[in-house]
């Protein structure tokens, strides 16, 4: 198991996203996916207080599963605060404290392994937000902190403030990053490298496009994300799919696994986050945990999303 950056956590190199639990996967489907992931050696689950249709539904499903399977001590749990709608979409001190405790109840646990600021909150002073996160760590409610959806400037400022004040620091970054969405490399990667942040990319499969199931002239895919995924076909997606097909064929594996394995070769990346609403979808991504790409294959894939 690779170490999660400067934390004391060791994690499975593929993080299971819980955003579909209670949304496109009902509780029985979610439990089946969680069982299959654990059976394959998986131990790292990502969720949020705001997932998805019902506030905290994903956390509730994961918490019940861990309790029923006695898996809490064998599962690294990441969740978030600051997303969603209404009064909880902020990083005020009272929101952080209240939502952390609500997440503990839903997850049926006494601590959160990795707690993220889900979205930056420009209306709340950084001092208030970061002091509140520090208090959770000092109280033993949270082990480690992470950040998501910050600008490079704001993340840098937050890290500097945490260091200066001696507060618990963000040690993990969860950015939007995949083979066809690579802005991270020029925006956030320099910050991640400077502060030695472990990177856990979300939308690692580009809303499903990098599974290979969206192709010109192909069968219509019924999914809430289908329109967004198909849009990549108009942005050079066929070239990307051709490269993925070539590498997948050479390894006798899936296009999805190759897409995730490419991310695992990127600087600072520890474990891409990918979700599955069925065990069949999970089977397509699990090989990424052990798939080793050659340098030539990595170059081929990287070049497929660079301008001609």
Instruction: Write out the DSSP string of 152-209.
Output: HHHHHHHHHHHHHHTPPPEEEEE-B-BTTB-THHHHTHHHHHHTT-EE--BSTTGGGG
Return d(Cα 280, Cα 277) in angstroms, integer.
Answer: 8
Task: Extract the tokens encoding 121.
Answer: 């909150």
Q: What is the enclosing helix (H) or strand (E) of 55?
A: none
Q: What is the CA radius of gyration of the chain?
A: 19
Task: State yes or no: is 37 an active-site residue.
Answer: no
Q: Which of 231, 227, 184, 223 is closest to 204 using CA atoms?
A: 184
Return d(Cα 146, Cα 69) in angstroms, integer.
Answer: 27
**Maximum pairwise Cα distance, the chain:** 57
Catalytic residue among 51, 203, 214, 232: 51
Q: What is the enclosing helix (H) or strand (E) of 272?
A: none
**How distant, in Å, are the alpha carbons of 180, 228, 278, 298 from that of 232?**
8, 7, 24, 20
Determine contact, residues 15/273, Cβ cutoff 8 Å: yes
| Residues annotated catalytic, as ranges | 51
């Amino acid at each position: 198991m690779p170490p999660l950056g400067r934390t004391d956590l060791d994690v499975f190199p593929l993080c299971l996203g819980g955003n579909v639990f209670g949304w496109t996967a009902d509780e029985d489907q979610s439990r089946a996916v969680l069982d299959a992931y654990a059976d394959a050696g998986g131990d790292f689950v990502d969720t949020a207080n705001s997932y998805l249709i019902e506030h905290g539904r994903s956390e509730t499903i994961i918490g019940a599963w861990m309790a029923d399977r006695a898996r809490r001590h064998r599962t690294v749990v990441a969740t978030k605060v600051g997303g969603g709608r209404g009064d909880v979409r902020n990083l005020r001190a009272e929101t952080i404290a209240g939502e952390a405790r609500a997440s503990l109840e839903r997850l049926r646990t006494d601590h959160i392994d990795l707690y993220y600021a889900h979205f930056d909150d420009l209306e709340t002073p950084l001092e208030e937000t970061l002091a509140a996160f520090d208090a959770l760590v000092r109280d033993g409610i949270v082990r480690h902190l992470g950040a998501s959806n910050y600008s490079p400037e704001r993340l840098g400022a937050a890290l500097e403030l945490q260091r200066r004040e001696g507060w618990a620091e963000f040690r993990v970054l969860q950015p939007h990053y995949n083979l066809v969405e690579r802005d991270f490399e020029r925006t956030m990667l320099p910050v991640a490298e400077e502060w030695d942040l472990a990177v856990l990319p979300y939308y690692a499969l580009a809303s499903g496009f990098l599974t290979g199931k969206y192709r010109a002239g192909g069968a219509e895919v019924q999914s809430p994300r289908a329109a967004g995924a198909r849009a990549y076909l108009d942005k050079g997606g066929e070239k990307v799919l051709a490269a993925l097909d070539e590498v997948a064929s050479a390894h006798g594996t899936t296009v999805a696994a190759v897409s995730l394995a490419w991310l695992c070769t990127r600087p600072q990346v520890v474990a891409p986050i990918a979700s599955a609403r069925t065990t069949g979808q999970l089977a397509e991504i699990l090989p990424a945990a052990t798939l080793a790409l050659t340098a030539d294959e990595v170059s081929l894939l990287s070049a497929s999303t660079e301008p001609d």
